Amino acid sequence: MKRFWKYAFPGLFGLLIYITIRILNDTVSHFRVWRRAWIITGIELVFVVAAGYLTMYAFEKLFQRFDKRLQHNIDFKTVLQELLWVVLITELINNAIVTPMVALTDDGLSWGDFATINIIPLLFCLVYYTVVRSNKLLQAYVNNKLLLEKMTNDHLQTELKFLKAQYHPHFLFNALNTVYFQMDDNVAEAKKSIEKFSELLRYQLYDQQQTVPVSQELHYLQNFIELQKVRSSNKLQLQVHFDSSLNDEQVYPLLFLPLVENAFKYVGGDYHISIEARRENDILCFAVENSVPTALGYQQAKAPSRNGIGLENLKRRLELLYPAKHTFTAEKKGNTYFAAIQIQLV
């Protein structure tokens, strides 16, 4: 089949154009081509077949050149340039080969002949271009879309890894401080804290699948809370409620940690912290509320949002992981600071 398209089709393409032009002209002029000398018809056939082969060869080279460009980008400008080259090649070849041939045969070249020679082959070439290149252009468009999506996805994955990695130094700093102060007072408790710390670190380093069961994430938070309680004031009033119905629902890890971390960091006033996770239909609700010092409540409440490793980081991760499937709230209510995440599970 490839041999047909390469060796036979260009000649047949030229003959088809020739037959179409002869039918149009001869019908109008009542000319009978079979009544003239066959040698003239033979010369015309040679010229039109040669024009067909030359046109197809030029198109092949043109398409190969544009195929390289289509691998990187496809847009209206590229397609328009290719189409203009098709028009230019068609007109150049026809006026270089067919027009002189017509001028030297029969009754010479008239304006009607000139218009026919330029319009009919161009129409055929445009139809050929549409049939041959439509599939290639569509494929190039799809490939470029896929490449763009892959590049975007790779960029987002890199950004997510960077954002997630930013939690680790902050977490390490707080945990090591806790153990450091325990070493002077109670070595046994320091050892327990190190065990908790190693379990938390193991989760961050080794259990970072793309998503995890929410029960696993809540267990991680429970360990984190236990570690934070050690370094907290004795005045701390802590309420933690994790809905027992939350088990195998899949969530992305380490999304709730910044809220809990900030609550322990900025708690003040009557030292009250409330942490809750529950499910409402297909919505996972996670909320943290902590009291803040009365005099400095506003400043303390605003401080987390200024922390590039805190809430702004969390907002960006939510936008990347749950686009249009989450809500995030962070606001000061009287002498308390309230932050909540709602995630659509389905």
Residue 97's contacts (CB-CB under 8 Å, 6 or more residues apart) are 47, 50, 51, 54
- Residue with the two structure tokens 């119905």: 245
**Strand order, beta sheet including 237-242:** 237-242, 272-280, 283-291, 336-344, 326-333
The pLDDT score that the predictor gives to residue 166 is 54
Contact present, 254 and 164 (Cβ < 8 Å): yes
pLDDT band with cut points at 50, 70 and 90 for residue 214 = very high
Measured distance CA(228)–CA(242) in Å, rounded: 17
Q: Which two tokens stand for residue 91?
A: 């007109």
Residues linked to residue 291 through DSSP beta bridges, in sequence order: 336
What average pLDDT does the chain have?
Answer: 79
Predicted structure pTM score: 0.51
The pLDDT score that the predictor gives to residue 338 is 93
Model pLDDT for residues 259-288, shown as the tens digit of each residue: 998 898 888 888 999 999 999 988 999 999
Q: Is the pLDDT of residue 198 over 50?
A: yes
Q: In percent, how much of the chain has pLDDT > 70?
A: 80
Distance of CA 257 to the CA centre of its chain: 28
At the fourth CATH level, the homologous superfamily of domain 166-344 is Histidine kinase-like ATPase, C-terminal domain (3.30.565.10)
Mean pLDDT of 58-79: 79
Contact present, 318 and 280 (Cβ < 8 Å): no
Q: Is the pLDDT of residue 196 over 70?
A: yes
pLDDT band with cut points at 50, 70 and 90 for residue 33 = low
pLDDT band with cut points at 50, 70 and 90 for residue 207 = very low
Is 121 in a helix, a strand, or coil? Answer: helix
Q: Is the pLDDT of residue 308 over 60?
A: no
Any idea what DSSP says for residue 279?
A: E
Sequence spans of domains, the chain: 2-152, 166-344
Q: Is the pLDDT of residue 242 over 90?
A: yes
Is 56 in a helix, a strand, or coil? Answer: helix
Contact present, 344 and 282 (Cβ < 8 Å): yes
Q: Is the pLDDT of residue 39 over 80?
A: no
Most confident of 42-46, 228-232, 234-238, 314-318: 234-238
Contact present, 106 and 86 (Cβ < 8 Å): no
Lowest mean pLDDT, pick from 35-44, 210-219, 274-283, 284-293: 35-44
Q: Is the pLDDT of residue 298 over 60?
A: no
Bigger pLDDT: 175 vs 3: 3
Bigger pLDDT: 282 vs 137: 282
The pLDDT score that the predictor gives to residue 69 is 73
The pLDDT score that the predictor gives to residue 134 is 82
Measured distance CA(329)–CA(308) in Å, rounded: 17
Residue 83's contacts (CB-CB under 8 Å, 6 or more residues apart) are 129
